[in-house]
Structure 1
Amino acid sequence: MGAVWQHNVAAVEAFLACQTQWRWVPRYGARDRAAGLDYAGCDVALRHAGVAVTPDLWEQFQVIELAAKAALNEG
């Protein structure tokens, strides 16, 4: 992970473990919108990936989620 600062690596790895857990809101006549990650699904994914979630890691994870959600919903 050359482009990720070392102190963010754990949060990025946790986010990537949950990358398939997005919830989408269908919109008639428009693009679906990302609502956010399904935290129940993320809990399972993180446990299976062996990730110990600390409050600090969770905070970093949510920052990544919000940025990804904004990027997914652009346009």
Structure 2
Amino acid sequence: MGLKIIPVYESLDVYIKELEDPNADAQALWEKYAIEPIWPKLCEFAPVDMSSRMPKPVGDIGRLKKQVDMLRR
């Protein structure tokens, strides 16, 4: 069995960009760009519903940008 890295940060640029709109729904955007692309794979072998462990949206966008940049290096 190998280890597979799921690079969720690759879809976060769009999340960050769309959050520039003051009317943006951060929760909906987080689910669309950070959760939906990876959640089925993360929970594929879970014996129970894991939705209570779903990560919350990142609120500090400046910090998120820095983290994404660091991961890309």
What range is the shorter-chain TM-score in? 0.3 to 0.5
TM-score, normalization: structure 2?
A: 0.35
Higher normalized strand content (fraction of residues): 1
